[in-house]
Amino acid sequence: MFEAVEELIGEHADLERQLADPAIHGDQARARRLNKRYAELTPIVGTYQDWRRTGDDIATAREFAADDPDFAAELKELEARREELTERLRLLLVPRDPSDDKDVILEIKAGEGGEESALFAGDLLRMYLRYAERRNWKTEIIQATESDLGGYKDVQVAVKARGGATEPGQGVWARLKYEGGVHRVQRVPATESQGRIHTSAAGVLVLPEAEDVDVEVNANDLRIDVYRSSGPGGQSVNTTDSAVRITHVPTGIVVSCQNEKSQLQNKEQALRILRARLLAAAQEEAEREASDARRSQVRTVDRSERVRTYNYPENRISDHRVGFKAYNLDQVLDGELEAVIQACVDADAEARLAAAQ
pLDDT score of 208: 86
What CATH number should be reported for the domain whose range is 2-92?
1.20.58
Mark out the alpha helices in the chain (DSSP H runs).
Answer: 2-19, 28-67, 71-92, 115-134, 172-176, 263-289, 292-295, 329-333, 338-356
Short-list 342, 356, 348, CA closest to 131: 342
Angle, helices 71-92/28-67, rounded to nearest 10 degrees: 150
CB 270 within 8 A of CB 244: yes
Give me the pLDDT at residue 165, please: 53
- Exposed, middle or buried by CB within 10 Å (0-12, 13-18, 19+), for 312? middle
Q: Which CATH number fits domain 212-289: 3.30.160.20, 3.40.462.10, 3.90.650.10, 1.10.10.10?
A: 3.30.160.20
Q: How far apart are CA 335 and CA 108, in angstroms?
A: 16
pLDDT at 233: 45
Which contiguous run of DSSP H or E holds residue 155? strand 152-160
Residue 79, Cβ density class (10 Å: 0-12 exposed, 13-18 middle, ≥19 buried): middle
Task: State the Cα angle at 278 between 273 and 281, rounded to 5°.
Answer: 125
pLDDT at 212 (0 to 100): 56
* Domain spans in the chain, listed from the N-terminal domain onward: 2-92, 102-209+299-357, 212-289
pLDDT value, residue 349: 81
What pLDDT is stored for residue 1 in this prediction? 60
What is the value of pTM for the model shown? 0.66
Q: What is residue 203's three-state secondary structure?
A: strand
| CATH fold label, 102-209+299-357 | Alpha-Beta Plaits (3.30.70)
Tell me the average confidence (pLDDT) per consecutive run of 10 residues in the chain, 357 residues long. Answer: 79 92 87 84 91 92 82 88 89 78 90 86 96 94 88 92 70 92 89 80 88 72 83 50 88 88 86 86 66 36 68 96 95 96 88 70
User: How many other CB atoms are there within 10 angstroms of residue 289's CB atom?
Assistant: 9
